[in-house]
Chains A and B, each alone.
Chain A
Amino acid sequence: MRAFEYAAPKERRQALGLLGRSWGDTEILAGGTDLLSLMKDDIVTPKRLVNIKGVAGPELHAIMRKQNGVQIGALVHLADLPSASDIRERYPMLADAAMEAASPQIRNMATMGGNICQRPRCWYFRNGFGLLGQKDGKSLVMEGDNRYHAILGNEGPAYFVSPSSIVPSLIAYGAKVTLASASGTREVALEKFFVIPKDENQREHDLRPDEMLTLVTLPAPPAGAKVAHYEVRQKAAFDWPLATCAALLEMNGGTVKSARIVMGHVAPIPWVSNEAAQAMAGKPVTEETADAAGAAAVANAKSLGRNGYKIKLARVAVKRAILMAAKGGQA
């Protein structure tokens, strides 16, 4: 790891003041589970780390009920989500996604904000070929081994997949994030926070180098909504999913009034499938309708060469999430 300066401010305004103007100047240290690996691999080489864990006040650290919704501080640990009654009882899909994420050691360290801002696991990126995985202007992903790469939103030049297995659930619940800088704060729908970069200087989200993600705000869950999160994962635990889906179904008696279907690990951004949602609207949940929604979700998917199987997996993830949601979510 390269040398860096380290500051652990106690006040939010100090933390914001310590952030740099361009990427490479500073990085925010929270859980550190992704950042330190990126630094050891020489992928991210900040001159300064700003450790925000000691920033005083409940804003960053607490889960608070706000009006009918809930505010989750950026520094809340993943391990604390399932055990918080506000989350467990009202946002069970989020509790479940957090419980399934990574390993207990990581869940004890990693934070809500860090989970949202974590960098892609694309092996070209992690091997030093840049976020877009290019060499001499050519995409190594397209020419090489893309078995874990994007099947949607993969027109290029970005082919990596969005790494969080929690974000799809947050988006399905309609989450917003608060981004603070020394000059003020702004609130962005989490869905809009993620962007597909067009060049190597862009990141995969809308956070600016001098900004800090401080809060995740969830509106009240729709009354009687049925939810479930499904991960297609080869190993029983601690394994990056091959495809995930968060499904939120608002019911009208026996039929779906409206649905939110958000897929993960299939595109450079969390992928909101309006096609799948429309396919479910006005329909009862059956094996056939759920499968049709899955088919609609991947109708525009395209293989990069080695990842065609992921189209099937994404379709299955959507189908199973919808079926599980209708059955009342998972245990």
Chain B
Amino acid sequence: MAKRDDEIKQIPGEESGNGLSRRSFLKIGGLAAAVPVVTGPKIIQVGGEQVEVHGPHAAPITLMVNGKRQTLNVEPRVTLLDALREDLDVTGPKRVCDRGECGACTVLIDGKAVYSCSTLAIDAQGKEIVTIEGLMAGATQLSPVQEAYVQHDASQCGFCTSGFVTATTAFLRDHPNPTHEEMVRNLGGNFCRCGTYGGIREVVQAHAGGKRAATEAAGAVAVKGGF
């Protein structure tokens, strides 16, 4: 989408009412410079009750990522994906479409596969976030699903792979004996450009058949060194 808005819109002051005080609300552009940087939420009165309002400036939030509690300083507009990748250097989840259309950013939140690009970081507080990095069977040991992806050559360039493996892990956990229709419906939220679907289909079929294939080449299952 070509951004065609090259002028700053005037932001009108908020109407009083709803218990809100009249004040100027500045949010973007050069105007944002005028907003003093405060940390911690503002408390505003809504119908006689106090409500916390965060932002637009950055403020500390706490995320539980792969079992580790992490505190970071982000604006409310930062997505979980960007917080993971840029602030925490958890780069397994990939940014591809950034619009919930491709699946490369898939993570598990409280066990459910979701698009981290379509989740705000501030909204992911208090939840268990698991990324591809957190799906290993041990520090250097692949999980059975990861192992099967190697075995069936279900990755090429690898950029969709993190999201696909994460989605597959959740899918096979919930569907231990998947049918073809279930696979199509439940792995339909991820796309691959190199065309590794044949291998991914085999990963699912092998699981359905109860077969956990052994690896062919020695050393293929452990991750050592780094590329």
Complex Cα distance, B224 from A159, in Å, reads 56
Contact of B189 among A2, A45, A103 (CB under 8 A): A103
Contact B56 A5 (CB under 8 A): yes
Complex Cα distance, B47 from A11, in Å, reads 11
The interface stretch among B11-19, B64-72, B143-151, B199-207 is B11-19
Number of A-B contacts (CB under 8 A): 157
A211 beta carbon closer than 8 Å to chain B: no
- Within residues 94 to 129 of chain A, which ones have a CB less than 8 A from any CB in chain B? 99-100, 102-106, 108-109, 126-128
Would A109 and B119 be within 8 Å (CB), given that A127-B1, A238-B188 are in contact? yes
Complex Cα distance, B113 from A106, in Å, reads 9
Complex Cα distance, B103 from A11, in Å, reads 33
Complex Cα distance, B9 from A102, in Å, reads 34
Chain A residues whose C-beta falls within 8 Å of the C-beta of B134 in the assembled complex:
none
Complex Cα distance, B218 from A184, in Å, reads 68
B171 beta carbon closer than 8 Å to chain A: yes
Contact of A237 among B14, B47, B75, B188 (CB under 8 A): B188
Q: Which of A8, A22, A45 has the most CB of B within 10 A?
A: A8
B55 beta carbon closer than 8 Å to chain A: yes
Contact of A1 among B54, B77, B189 (CB under 8 A): B77
A327 beta carbon closer than 8 Å to chain B: no
Would A2 and B123 be within 8 Å (CB), given that A40-B98, A106-B115 are in contact? no
Contact A17 B18 (CB under 8 A): yes
Which of chain B's residues has its CB closest to A25's CB?
A: B14
Minimum distance in angstroms from B169 CB to a CB of chain A: 12
Interface footprint category on B: 35 or more
Chain B residues whose C-beta falls within 8 Å of the C-beta of A41 in the assembled complex:
1, 99
A281 beta carbon closer than 8 Å to chain B: no
B139 beta carbon closer than 8 Å to chain A: no
How many residues belonging to A are interface residues under a CB distance threshold of 8 Å?
A: 52
Complex Cα distance, B118 from A5, in Å, reads 17
The interface stretch among B25-33, B83-91, B152-160, B209-217 is B25-33
B-contact bits for A218-250, CB 8 A (1 contact / 0 none): 000000000000000000111000000000000
Of the A-B pairs whose beta carbons lie under 8 Å apart in the complex, a sample of 15, sorted by A's number, is A2-B77, A3-B55, A4-B56, A5-B54, A6-B76, A6-B120, A11-B49, A17-B18, A17-B19, A33-B118, A36-B119, A49-B76, A49-B120, A104-B186, A128-B1
CB within 8 Å of B: which residues of A? 1-9, 11, 13-14, 17-22, 25, 29, 32-33, 36-37, 39-42, 45, 47-49, 51, 53, 79, 99-100, 102-106, 108-109, 126-128, 182, 210, 236-238
CB within 8 Å of A: which residues of B? 1-5, 9, 11, 14-15, 17-20, 25, 27-28, 32, 46-47, 49, 51-56, 75-77, 79, 98-100, 103, 106, 112-115, 117-120, 122-123, 167, 170-171, 184-190
5 further A-B pairs in the complex, CB-CB below 8 A; given A1-B77, A25-B14: A8-B52, A48-B53, A104-B170, A105-B100, A108-B113
